[in-house]
Amino acid sequence: MFKPAPTDLTGKTALVTGASGGIGAAAVAHFAALGATVYATDIADSFDGDATYRAFNLLDNAGLAAAQDWIADIQPNILFNNAAIFDMGSVLDADLDQFDRLFGVNVRAFYAVMQSTAKAMVAAGKSGSIINLASQAGHRGEALVAHYCATKAAVISYTQSAALALAPHKIRVNAISPGVIDTPMWKDVDALFAKFENKPLGQKKQEVGDAVPLGYMGSPDDVARAAVFLASDQSAYMTAQTIGIDGGNVLR
């Protein structure tokens, strides 16, 4: 007899990093609405959402270690591994300070959070779902986004390796690659493009939205709905995959 898989997350414990941003905040709201107990973290001092919140600076060794201890305590069985920072610069412009900052958060801290969550799941004997946030930038280089593209390519690679390593423990690991999503961060991204490409403010944002095959920028809710799919039993037989939520920008 046909039995549909539920998206209900009642009884699940979810951790969302980068929770103060548009995508992270949307994930918190969606997980909580579907019954999960949600824990959230970001660098901001406070958070307005349906979650237990702690602030950590993941670029700082002490902050990252404290976050890892917190993860061991809360024992999540869903991780939305979203914390990341953005900056721009071509290979001629992007120096090693920028490299250290972007790789420090987007790869080093990302990996430490994923590893700590996986260890907590294994120690508790829990199956679970780890959802890593990549980007369309991780599938192709971009002239002005050298370090950021490389960090997101690393996220995709680590997702595949972790999925294979954790499969015997019934822990699934997948990634989401958002395209151009209309979040508050786009104000800063647009300003950087205005600087590097000598464009008026707002022009780049309009251009990238118009260039999407579907004709517009996505919303944080578009990404959060994919996260719900990956967190729930809807995707029970899915691991080591990267889903593009990009309106058709990248053909895989």
Active site residues: 148
What one-character-per-residue DSSP string does the chain give?
---PPP---TT-EEEEESTTSHHHHHHHHHHHHTT-EEEEEESSS---SSSEEEE--TTSHHHHHHHHHHHHHH--SEEEE-------B-TTT--HHHHHHHHIIIIIIHHHHHHHHHHHHHHHT--EEEEEE--GGGGS--TTBHHHHHHHHHHHHHHHHHHHHHGGGTEEEEEEEE-SB--THHHHHHHHHHHHHT--TTHHHHHHHHHSTTSS-B-HHHHHHHHHHHHSGGGTT--S-EEEESTTSS--
